[in-house]
Amino acid sequence: MGELIKSSSADETRELLTNKDKFDQLWRWAQLSSSSQMVPQHYRGKPEDTFVATTTAMRLGVDPILYMQNTYFIQGKPAVEAKFAIALANGSGVFRGPIQYELEGTGDAMQARAYAIIDATGDVAEEVVTMQQAHAEGWTKKAGSKWKTLPALMLKYRAATFLVKLHCPEVLMGLQTTQELTDISDNAPRSLTERVEQANAAPVAEIVEEAEEVF
């Protein structure tokens, strides 16, 4: 099973979904994992969600359990924690060393710069996010927003997230961070617990059903 649960390309993932033996192995893994205390509450008893999360983790090249522990559903969309996205980028080999940060100013004048050296070219990639931008985008106005209590950390997270998405989008393959989805949602729940509870309204069984039709 360990050989099956590993990093895979799009073609290899497609083979898993069209090869009956491999599909059955992955489905048994999902059933077993979804009953484990090691997976977060919002995956327990949901082998369909666990199945899809596992294939996504394989595409990202990370351990499925670790991926699920850092994934939440917000407004029906899967999202990963910013720190997890940054860790993926730091370990991808795209950058020559981990992402670095510079913080300047205080209060509404605060800004964060995230930067890293692109290994292939030696060029410096950087993104800057300011508190003025956060105010203008409405990120600071959300109920329970961490922008109000941890502005420096949120600036670093957002700058790094932009850096990853613009300079190595293949690392996240379109995934958004929980912080992004919470900030842009007009009716984002107040707490992470509420976000997870609302997530249950987004079934993914249809994906499994489509794969099963192959057989």
Q: CA-to-CA distance for 72 and 187, rounded, in angstroms?
A: 16
68 and 87, same domain (yes or no): no
pLDDT band at 19 (very low <50, low <70, confident <90, very high): confident
35 within some domain: yes
State yes or no: pLDDT of 192 exceeds 50.
Answer: no
Q: What 3-state DSSP class applies to 183?
A: helix
For 35, the token pair is 């009953």
Q: Do both 37 and 104 map to the same domain?
A: no
Is 150 part of any domain? Answer: yes
Query: For residue 213, is pLDDT > 60?
Result: no
pLDDT for residue 8: 52
**d(C-alpha 173, C-alpha 183), whole Å:** 20
87 and 175 together in one domain: yes
Same domain, 55 and 24: yes
Residue 17: inside a domain: yes
How many domains does one find in the chain? Answer: 2
159 has pLDDT over 80: yes
91 in any annotated domain:
yes
- The verdict on residue 3 lying in a domain is no
The whole-number pLDDT of residue 13 equals 65
How far is residue 138 CA from its own chain's centroid? 22
- Could you give the CA distance from residue 119 to residue 93 in angstroms, rounded to a whole number? 7
The model's pLDDT over 26-81, given as tens digits with 9 standing for 90+, comes to: 999 999 999 999 999 989 999 999 999 998 898 888 999 999 999 988 877 889 99
In a domain, 4, yes or no: no
59/124 same-domain check:
no
**Are both 151 and 94 inside the same structural domain?**
yes
180/137 same-domain check: yes
DSSP reduced 3-state for 118 = strand
Are the CB atoms for 52 and 46 separated by under 8 Å?
A: no
Claim to verify: residue 142 and residue 55 sit in the same structural domain: no
- The more confidently predicted of residues 77 and 212 is 77
**Considering the domain boundaries, does residue 191 fall inside one?**
no
Judge if pTM exceeds 0.95.
no
Q: What is the pLDDT of residue 22?
A: 85
Task: Say whether both 56 and 89 belong to one domain.
Answer: no
Q: How many CA atoms lie within 13 A of 134 on its CB side?
A: 30
Residue with more model confidence, 50 or 7? 50
Domain membership of residue 30 as a residue range? 10-75+196-212
* Domain annotation covers residue 132: yes
172 and 90 in a single domain? The answer is yes
Residue 7 has pLDDT above 60, yes or no: no
Query: Has residue 89 got a pLDDT over 70?
Result: yes
Q: Which two tokens stand for residue 208?
A: 């499994």
Distances in Å between the alpha carbon of 25 and those of 77, 165, 177, 208?
A: 26, 33, 30, 13
Given a cut of 50, whether residue 207 has pLDDT beyond it is no
Residue identified by tokens 């922008």 is: 147
> Does 68 share its domain with 160?
no
